[in-house]
Structure 1
């Protein structure tokens, strides 16, 4: 069978993730707090407004999030145990239930009944849930005390244990357990005091609509807070590139291009000044010629700067350092050759050569001797000729061994060229230093420099700085070279484009300006210059307004993003779905079932449930109307009657479930609906014949109505009392409290006490035994009074009830006199034994013993059973007479 929840879940799959998350929260908690709305707004912005990722990602709605959308199995509760951190309960409290029929759990206010009920509401996912609180008087701030419990259930007859922790994942089977309480009653009332037909699930769509409208309000406020002033664009509009970009300012404005146009160089700003001046000139030729002349001088200066720069560059420094290193290497080689030249004999005795041997003059002498030897003296022999008998070509004395050795060393020295190389490297270094020293580092003459200061001040400053740096570098080079010490910091040459390039650029700019001046006299060219000036002026204006424009565009982008979010929050689709769901599931059968339940609850007015057929403010509803009047139902019905309708609709929905799981009622009856207590009790007893029913109540009058309904139906129930034990609430006792027990239950309890007294008392009861006997007789006395009302008078009149059971009056007459006398004897004995009456000491009667007490209890039980038998026989006879009357009427 298709269900509303099933259709809703299927439809929800097509919703946006944030809508599914909102529905999940609504089914879990029944309402959305401010924190929920803020988190959902963040999800909407992420999905539709290009917002950042939300801190909590959407958690889509699933079947296990929905009470009543569980497994589809029939589930019965068996017990609730191991309660921990639940209200002021001591850990370990437990409560058991009969898996079938009716279990009544009675407890006064503050006894702990609500603690058990709240756990079940949270675990079974009641429509409206309040978090289970831990003990408010234990645990410090920040001390986590999370309520938990074990829940034993039967799922289609199979045992299962569920570990429940508040805030944990829900159990699908427990979702089949239906819960009715005052919050559930409100869920059937669309607006306070106004009854509405809201099958479970439609109410959550109502709340989703309300939530989306609240989010719409939040985003609208945020959007309205974004102030946009389009007037800031007015000065920029016109026939320029800037004007075209700001013609229709908004989210689509090209802010990147605007930023590019607003970025202006110093040259752009100078161009504005130049164009303004050029367009003011009446005779531009003289100025153009002056610009041409200055440009030509700058061109020559650029060549000089290029020439000068090569003497002070880092490359020049490296080259000079290399020349010094070459000189040092050549000098070292020369010194080595000199040592070899002056070397001694094999015994290490050095020759004493003349001073200057090996120098340039000596080498000239050597070369002359060589020429004379090979050309004249020893033609055909290499120089030096040192064979035996050879003579020195200068002194013409025969060469001895020492002389021959010296000549050979001379030849080796001259052939090695060490001296020549040393002389050459030194000469190269001297020439390089001379070029650096003599270099012209002043590319501009004084008049041109002065003119430059007026026309191009930035270039003038660059020239001065660069020339100063060049001179500092040259001084450092010369000093370091002279000292051959390069450890001092090297002066820095200005970075960026070299001076010669900047001078050439300045020359080109001046030439262009001269050309522009000449063009300005041509009307067509003048128009182009005016257009260029307008473009540059527009960019200059944009430059000052750019921060405000960026803020406007970013604000427009945000407003547009928020508009998309607002469009996504439109509730029309949800309202349409609500109407469709209502038409499909708020059926005539459900309306009939509700009317049947209303009749069963004793509701006497005539109501005609009709479907409004439209969605108003996101709500599709079946409105209860009173026949014969156009007045709204909520203006006619009392609050108690409205609660009766809510219960009737709840029971109608339960009847349409596809399973027979437990139904829990938490204080279903209040003073608001006291007129419907009896029928309500009878209906819940009848429901307990179909499935397990749990009733939590503190209403003793309602309890008596349940007892009467049970007796009338012949059904039975399990009673439990919840109260204080061990100085803490939540203590559970089997059965009812003394005040709520019927006469038979009371007598059996007293009999147990009497037997215990008999076991412990001797022939002469102690003071304590006497006290206990007297207390027992006091209870016997009250029990006889209850037995008279319940059995002998057959509940013809009930305390706190406005009904008189006329049909039961027939049993009042006909009780045997001997039974009445016996009952009165016991009653008199109980009155004499009770301490409720003060008796003078001289008239004190002996207190009955335990055996007498037991005898009186047994006799009272026997008399009550006989009265009950007569009541049942009378009811049988009355039923037969009723059938006979109906049969006779039918035959007529």
Structure 2
């Protein structure tokens, strides 16, 4: 059983929301915020007593997972019957593929190549895929335009046609086809910037564990936002039925019983009144307790009054006035200093200074000049240097007498304390005003004042009069400072003792009264009446707090439900399964296969992936180690190198599959440098000897590398070109002229020449003459390419800084007569090329088609001779290399 198949089987035992989360992670890169919201709603429905989730769980199945297919060997044969695919017309011809070996589809950007690639990515459930788009310029009023196509395949050698529709169910046979592109590489790079690689499937479990942690974080935030404050119910506790229920108030409290206790009938209220009156006559304790409680509150009011009185006493008001006057005096001194600086105090010696001189910005400029003078210009002289011949440190001109006088005045101004004194005085006044404005002038809260108004009207009046006077005196001080007017009369404080003294006297009186009441208790047995009254009064108090108590119970239930959700989101089960899967599938064999692929890519030899057994919160990785380096791998490896590692792991996985299904590469060389591009081509060519391989590319350089690898391996490929006719997506066999090799070009030119010959008759008309000229123009370019590829044995190549010294041996020995034959044809091609046109009086005739055919034959013969020499050279080189490997012979 493969890794992904084991994950699918294991997921059958998971909760529905987990199976839905896994499905999403196999279909997309990561979970979005909306995904998290929908999954949390499912969890709350299951564990948190929440409503039905708006989105029902869509359970993970085999159809959602790339590579989890039928297990058969599948080859692609054809794609046809395109509907609403990009800008493809419905009449677009089928695209056929060879069932084995390498098929390359080459097309420039915008040619329609991506349309075919996206069909296959979606149909084959690639790990990273985008929806196929309908024609962006097509009609929008004809109903839904759902992309679709038919795909023909061989399944274990049997022909089968599959209908693919965007968004429809996937065919399990097509899922056996593996797809790789640059986006696919991201599925192997588990952490951004950190080269930790995972086989496909473990990464999804990693992200699922991370998603569960994120959902736990969200649940925790929601739970912590529910504040349970039981202190408000403290007065209800005691030896009563209400007290017993309040002491255990929580999620298990029965709300109906709580509401029954908190509901009093008219009969209950009357009974409280009767019992209260009866027991007050016989027991003074309640009255004494009431006096004690009031005394405690008035004690607090005494402390608050003492603090408030300090801010509005006569001494405090006088201090406020003194601060104001000090601030004004400091300002006046500062203004005089400013006048002295500006010279306005000497009308007979006017000295006009720039606007702003003396302000903070000017002061900063002065300080900078002083630092420069002390550090560089005049190291041993105090600033400013006003001696004869001294220069200004800014303009560096010699100071005139009036300038020296001005500089001395500047120094006197800066050295003075007027500015600093003004700032200090202003800050002191501001802080005093702020403290007075924030003072609390309410010694008692409103409920206590209301109670006091009925219990002790005289004390109520004393407090009200005092607080009114405090506020008036504070307002007087604020107005006097604001308007600088101290002439208005100061509001008077109430006559007699200050409020704190009156409150303290009242407290002492209340405590003495309470003591006297207790001393007069008649110790008769009234326990049944007291118990009944206590129970009724507790229920009466509960009626006031019943809404809060009911909400407390509801909040407690909600917190417990969220705790259950939090526990259900524990990722430990996922982490444990990951560890088990990693032991079974992240094996030394996989690491060895990955190293083998890396070696084939000629990756950095000092970088080796190995199984270190590293576990990060349950996540097992194939970690990288760099020999003899103290730095982490991600600090050494480029993005392209990390992508090379991802490709190596992909190839290792493909070769470990128990079937030989096709592999598709879509622009695989993205973000890789030329060395990996070349060796990637070699790896793809090697893979094509084992199974069907399709390559979609727009990279002409990569195409050249594939051709080079094919030639080295003595293999062939099937080329197709994607381009435009009246619309994108037109596929033709072979390559475009620019990407053909010499052999392909010569075959095309020969076919052109034969066609011209057949249509010419006895006289070659102007149109055919132009076609012959076109043929010679192509022949000229082909000869130039043949010089590089055939005669020079690819010693140098375009788009490459590599010079193959080893290949140059086949160039040696090229006979002069053979080269003369090539030059004869080349000269004729130059003469026939429009780019080498001549004046009309010297116009040379265009060669006839038969001559073009003969010239093509000549070039083919010369290329064949070059190949013969190359074969002989390769044979001699092989013998020489074999001889080098023999040990020395001892006589």
Structures share a fold, TM > 0.5? yes
Tell me, yes or no, if the aligned pair for 1:245 and 1:254 is still in contact at 8 Å.
Answer: no
CA deviation map 1:471-515 (0-9, x unaligned): xxxxxxxxxxxxxxxxxxxxxxxxxxxxxxxxxxxxxxxxxxxxx
Q: CA RMSD in A?
A: 2.4
Task: Classify the secondary structure of the residue corresponding to 2:829.
Answer: helix
| Distance (Å, rounded) in 1 between the aligned partners of 2:867 and 2:63 | 50
Match of 1:579 in 2: 579
1:35–1:91 Cα change, 3 Å: farther
Measure how far apart 1:157 and its partner are. Answer: 0.7
Contact persistence 1:209–1:571 (CA under 8 A): yes
Shift of 1:836: 0.9
Q: Which residue of 2 aligns with 1:402?
A: none
- Structure 2 CA distance for aligned equivalents of residues 614 and 577 of structure 1: 15
Q: Is the 8 A contact 1:188 1:195 kept in 2?
A: no
Sort the Cα spacing of 1:673 and 1:193 in 2 relative to 1 into closer, same or farther, 3 A: farther
Distance in 2 (CA, whole Å) between partners of 1:818 and 1:115 is: 52
Q: Deviations over 1:606-661 (max 9, x none)?
A: 23333332421442212111111231111112222222211111111111111111
1:251 aligns to what SS in structure 2?
coil
Name the structure 2 match of 1:824.
823
For the 8 Å contact 1:722–1:732, the answer to whether it is kept is yes
Q: C-alpha distance in 2, partners of 1:576/1:78?
A: 43
Displacement after TM superposition at 1:98 (Å): 0.8
Question: In the aligned structure 1, how far is the partner of 2:889 from the partner of 2:654?
Answer: 35
Q: Is the 8 A contact 1:794 1:808 kept in 2?
A: yes
CA contact 1:84–1:92 (8 Å) conserved in 2: no
**Could you say which residue in structure 1 is the equivalent of 2:864?**
865
Asked if 1:32 corresponds to 2:31, the answer is yes
Correspondences of 1:158-237 after superposition (within 5 Å): 158-237=158-237
1:346 maps to: none
> Structure 2 matches for 1:848-859, cutoff 5 A?
848-859=847-858
Structure 1 residues 756 and 884 mapped into 2: Cα distance closer, same or farther (>3 Å)? same
- Determine whether 1:550 maps to 2:553: no
Q: Is the 8 A contact 1:26 1:32 kept in 2?
A: yes
User: Counterparts of 1:764 and 1:168 in 2: how far apart (Å)?
Assistant: 61
1:309-356, Cα deviation, whole Å (9 max, x unpaired)? xxxxxxxxxxxxxxxxxxxxxxxxxxxxxxxxxxxxxxxxxxxxxxxx
**What is the SS of the residue equivalent to 2:642?**
helix
The verdict on how the C-alpha distance between 1:696 and 1:640 changes in structure 2, with shifts beyond 3 A counting, is: same
1:849 Cα deviation from its structure 2 partner: 2.0
Query: Is 1:69 aligned to residue 68 of structure 2?
Result: yes
CA–CA separation in structure 1 for the residues paired with 2:579 and 2:556: 37
1:113 has 2:113 as partner: yes
Alpha-carbon displacement from aligned partner over 1:417-439 (angstroms, at most 9, x marks no partner):
xxxxxxxxxxxxxxxxxxxxxxx
Match of residue 710 from structure 1? 710
Give the SS at the match of 2:269: helix
CA distance in 2, matches of 1:881, 1:730: 50
> What do residues 695-737 of structure 1 show as CA deviations (whole Å, max 9, x unaligned)?
11111111111111111111111001112221x2221111111
Change (3 A) 1:814 1:180: same
Task: Tell me, in whole angstroms, the C-alpha distance in 2 between the residues paired with 1:891 and 1:561.
Answer: 88
CA deviations on 1:101-135 (whole Å, 9 max, x unpaired) are 00111111122222221221221112222222333
Displacement after TM superposition at 1:775 (Å):
1.4
Matches within 5 A, 1:297-316: none
2:55 counterpart residue number? 56
State the 1:889 CA deviation. Answer: 6.6
Tell me the residue number matched to 2:514.
none
Contact persistence 2:153–2:159 (CA under 8 A): yes
Would you say the 8 A contact 1:578–1:615 is kept in 2?
Answer: no
Shift of 1:227: 3.3
Structure 1 CA distance for aligned equivalents of residues 210 and 8 of structure 2: 19
Distance 1:255 1:777, change over 3 A: same
Q: 1:890 to 1:533 in 2, by over 3 A?
A: farther
Q: Counterparts of 1:412-561 in structure 2 under 5 Å?
A: 526-561=526-561
Q: CA deviation at 1:173?
A: 1.6
Other-structure match for 1:43: 42
* 1: CA distance, partners of 2:538 / 2:136: 71
Asked if residue 274 in structure 1 is aligned to residue 274 in structure 2, the reply is yes
Q: Could you report, residue by residue, the CA deviation over 1:530-578 in whole angstroms, capped at 9, with x for unpaired residues?
A: 2222222222222232222222211211111111111111122222222
Structure 1 residue 762 displacement after superposition: 4.3
CA distance in 2, matches of 1:120, 1:791: 37
Indicate the residue corresponding to 1:299 in structure 2. none
Write out per-residue CA displacement over residues 262-306 of structure 1, whole angstroms, 9 at most, x where no aligned residue: 2332222222223323434569xxxxxxxxxxxxxxxxxxxxxxx
Cα deviation for residue 92 of structure 1 reads: 4.9
Rg larger in structure: 1
Secondary structure at the counterpart of residue 613 of structure 1: coil
The answer to whether the 8 Å contact 2:182/2:670 transfers is no
Separation (CA, whole Å) in 2 of partners of 1:14 and 1:105: 44
CA distance, structure 1, for counterparts of residue 763 and residue 791 of structure 2: 37
Aligned length: 653
Deviation at 1:212, TM superposition (A): 1.0
What is the match of residue 494 of structure 1?
A: none
Unaligned 5+ segments in structure 2 are 284-520
Answering whether residue 731 of structure 2 is matched by residue 732 of structure 1, we say yes
Asked if the contact 1:121/1:179 (under 8 Å) is kept, the reply is: yes
Q: CA deviation at 1:598?
A: 0.8
Alignment correspondent of 1:250:
250
The 1:139–1:644 alpha-carbon spacing in structure 2 relative to 1, beyond 3 Å, is: same
- For 1:565 and 1:41, how far apart are their aligned partners in 2? 9
Query: Per the alignment, in what secondary structure is the counterpart of residue 190 of structure 1?
Result: strand
The residue correspondences of 1:637-656 to structure 2 (distance < 5 A) are: 637-656=637-656
The separation in 2 between residues aligned to 1:142 and 1:244, in whole angstroms, is 72
Deviation, 1:522, is 12
Match of 1:394 in 2: none
> 2:764 aligned with 1:752, yes or no?
no
Which residue does the alignment assign to 2:363? none
- Per-residue CA distance 1:791-842 (angstroms, 9 max, x = gap): 1111111111222222221221233433322221111111011111241222
Aligned to 1:100: 100
8 A contact 2:588–2:611 mirrored in 1: no
- Change in 2 beyond 3 A, CA 1:890/1:564: farther
Give 1:216 deviation, angstroms: 1.6
Shift in Å, 1:863: 2.6
2:628 aligns to what SS in structure 1?
coil
Question: Take 1:73 and 1:282, find their aligned partners in 2: how far apart are those partners?
Answer: 98
User: Match of 2:696?
Assistant: 696
Distance, in Å, in 2 between the alignment partners of 1:890 and 1:547 is: 106
Q: Note closer, same or farther for the CA distance 1:590–1:114 as it changes in structure 2 (3 Å cut).
A: same
CA distance in 2, matches of 1:542, 1:765: 115
* Conservation of the 8 A alpha-carbon contact between 2:599 and 2:605: no
Contact 1:237–1:244, Cα closer than 8 Å, also in 2: yes
With over 3 angstroms needed to count, the CA separation of the structure-2 counterparts of 1:562 and 1:665, relative to structure 1, is: same
- Matched position secondary structure for 1:187: coil
CA–CA distance in structure 1, aligned partners of residues 752 and 877 of structure 2: 39
CA distance in 1, matches of 2:735, 2:716: 14
CA contact (8 A) 2:639 2:671 kept: no
Match of 2:79 in 1: 80
- Asked whether 1:567 is paired with 2:563, we answer no
SS of the residue 1:566 aligns to: helix
Q: Compute the displacement of 1:141 (Å).
A: 8.9
1:262/1:604 Cα in 2 relative to 1: closer, same or farther (>3 Å)?
A: closer
Deviates more, 1:737-746 or 1:637-646: 637-646
CA contact (8 A) 2:196 2:624 kept: yes
**Alignment of structure 1 residues 321-332 onto 2, 5 Å:** none
Instruction: String of CA shifts for 1:238-284, please: whole Å, max 9, x gaps.
Output: 2221211111322122212111222332222222223323434569x
In structure 2, how many angstroms separate the alpha carbons of the residues matched to 1:887 and 1:877? Answer: 16
Aligned equivalents of 1:618, 1:264: Cα separation in 2: 58
| Counterpart-to-counterpart distance in 2, 1:12 and 1:746 | 56
Report SS of the residue matched to 2:121.
helix
**CA deviation map 1:395-436 (0-9, x unaligned):** xxxxxxxxxxxxxxxxxxxxxxxxxxxxxxxxxxxxxxxxxx
The Cα shift of 1:14 comes to 2.8
Q: Do the aligned residues in 1 keep the contact of 2:831 with 2:837 (CA within 8 Å)?
A: no
Secondary structure of 1:725's counterpart equals coil
3-state SS in 1 of match to 2:149: strand
1:887 CA displacement? 4.8
- Mapped partners of 1:134, 1:725: distance in 2: 18
What residue ranges of structure 1 are gaps of 5+ in the alignment? 284-520
Whether the aligned pair in 1 keeps the contact of 2:795 and 2:808 (CA below 8 Å) is yes
What SS does the corresponding residue of 1:246 show, helix, strand or coil?
Answer: helix
Does residue 20 (structure 1) correspond to residue 28 (structure 2)? The answer is no
Give 1:229 deviation, angstroms: 2.7
Alignment match, 2:603: 603
Taking the aligned partners of 1:543 and 1:704, their CA distance within structure 2 comes to 88
2: CA distance, partners of 1:136 / 1:110 = 13
